[in-house]
Amino acid sequence: MKGMGNMLKQAQQLQSKIAKLQEEMASRTVEASAGGGMVVAVANGRQELVSIRIEPEVVSEGDIEMLQDLVLAAANEALRKSQEMVSQEMNKLTGGMNIPGLV
């Protein structure tokens, strides 16, 4: 019985650490660009886009399809980097254990 109580205590500590990490990840950001930096997307650790910057030259060219492609590429890469950042931090916390539903 003592072993079960110890395991429960460890699980509660891990849960607390995970909650703290998730809170921290919300304030951390990653950045990705497309078109040689013409479009830049920034995402946080909650996989939310927090900003998109578009250089004026891209808009003045009038190629809406190209602009849309650049925005999508930058946004998708920022979200991918965000997921990778969270996954790396979670692996540090869990010692590489794959716990379903955490990432």
Record the pTM. 0.75
Q: How far apart are CA 51 and CA 21, in angstroms?
A: 22
What pLDDT is stored for residue 102 in this prediction?
Answer: 54
CATH superfamily of 2-94: Nucleoid-associated protein YbaB-like domain (3.30.1310.10)
Give the phi and the psi of residue 50 in degrees, each rounded to 5. Answer: -110, -20
What pLDDT is stored for residue 97 in this prediction?
Answer: 66
Q: How far apart are CA 71 and CA 76, in angstroms?
A: 8
pLDDT at 91 > cutoff 70: yes
| % residues pLDDT > 90 (the chain) | 49
Q: Containing H/E element for 79? A: helix 64-94
Per-residue pLDDT tens digits for 40-87: 999 999 999 999 999 999 888 788 999 999 999 999 999 999 999 998
